[in-house]
Amino acid sequence: MSQIRRNLMLGEWVIVTPKRASRPFQDREQQCPFCPGRPGTEGDWRVLTLENKYPALSPEAGFFPLNEAIVMEAPGYGYCRVIVLSRDHDRQMESMSEDEVACVLDEYLRVFRELDSREGVRYVLQFENRGRSIGVSIDHPHAQVYALPFVPPRIEREMSQSARLWREEEKCLVCELLANELKSRDRVIYENNHFVSLVPFGARLPYEVHIYPREHCSSLADMESTLGDLGMAIRDTVTRFSRVFDENAYTMVFHTRPSGEETPYWHFHVEFYPPWRDRTRLKYLAGVESGAWTYTNDSSPEDKARELREAT
């Protein structure tokens, strides 16, 4: 059973899960567990959600309220799911039709809705890890969902930044950033009716890309009618990456609002963090990044936006 422990030095929760260390690392030679016909993937489906077989968190741990002032450790309560994005082992997002992409986004929304209202869930984190170079062991297109009993620290940080501007100037931070980016256009990569993708002004990573909805909205549940356009913006980003890198690799994270909290200042967005400095060389995170959380981005966000804009 995993634990949730308080790291007092940083004021954050850490998931301590020794049993996961024994999870198998998928070999290229082994049969893929997500291909149709394997245990749990039988039958007819286009997109499929599975329980994570080696979950960091589990509902069986039982919900335990995490009050950081008094709780130092708690059972590892939560949900870990895998969304298999395609029946086809090699059909990554960039090879999918508009209709297939729409199915993927519908499933993201369905799982979000299901977990968002569960007891004790304070944040539904939806993300995709892709590429051997970031340690992914299964190539079959898949995303993950962690329903957490706490709000993760990066989200807390964005919340405090957004809440302050909302309180002091009655403005949404993402709406402001987006308006500025659309004025200068130096870092904009792609636009459709409802979404804009760009390299942010203060990008920590060379190929960091954000996708912002034009309208102020806080979660997938508010975007049912525009999900198709979100899928197109995601497919566009992933396609550009596949042209710019020798091996496509990235982490994609949906930054949604916390569950069961009033956060009118929150503006949903998607963030991509590819591990590359250029076509073939990795950007390593070492002393300055891990020790101080100060990022040295050895590229100009404007140059990288141009490179991605031209990768069509």
Q: What are the catalytic residues?
A: 142
CB-nearer residue toward a copy of itself: 96 or 172: 172
Applying CB under 8 A, does 271 fall inside the site for a copy of itself?
yes
Q: How far is the CB of 17 from a copy of itself (least distance, A)?
A: 5
Stated as kind and residue range, the H or E segment containing 79 is: strand 79-84
- Told to check if 17 binds a copy of itself by CB under 8 A, we report yes
Q: Distance between terminal CA atoms of the chain?
A: 47
Binding segment for a copy of itself (CB under 8 A), chosen from 187-195, 226-234, 247-255, 258-266, is 247-255
Tokens 């939560």 belong to residue: 78
Q: Does 7 bind a copy of itself (CB under 8 A)?
A: yes
**Cα atoms in the Cβ-side hemisphere of radius 13 Å centred on 246:** 8
State which residue, 160 or 312, has the beta carbon closest to a copy of itself: 160
Between residue 123 and residue 182, which ones bind a copy of itself under the rule CB under 8 A?
A: 123, 125, 127-129, 134-136, 144, 146, 148, 152-155, 157-158, 160-161, 173-174, 177
Q: Which residue has the tokens 């999870």?
A: 23
Q: Is 279 exposed, middle or buried (0-12, 13-18, 19+ CB in 10 A)?
A: exposed
Minimum CB–partner distance for residue 266 and a copy of itself (Å): 12
CA distances to 46, 101, 118, 146, 195 from 15, rounded to whole Å, are: 32, 32, 19, 12, 34
What part of residues 272-311 is at the interface with a copy of itself (CB under 8 A)? 273, 277-278, 281-282, 284-288, 290-301, 303
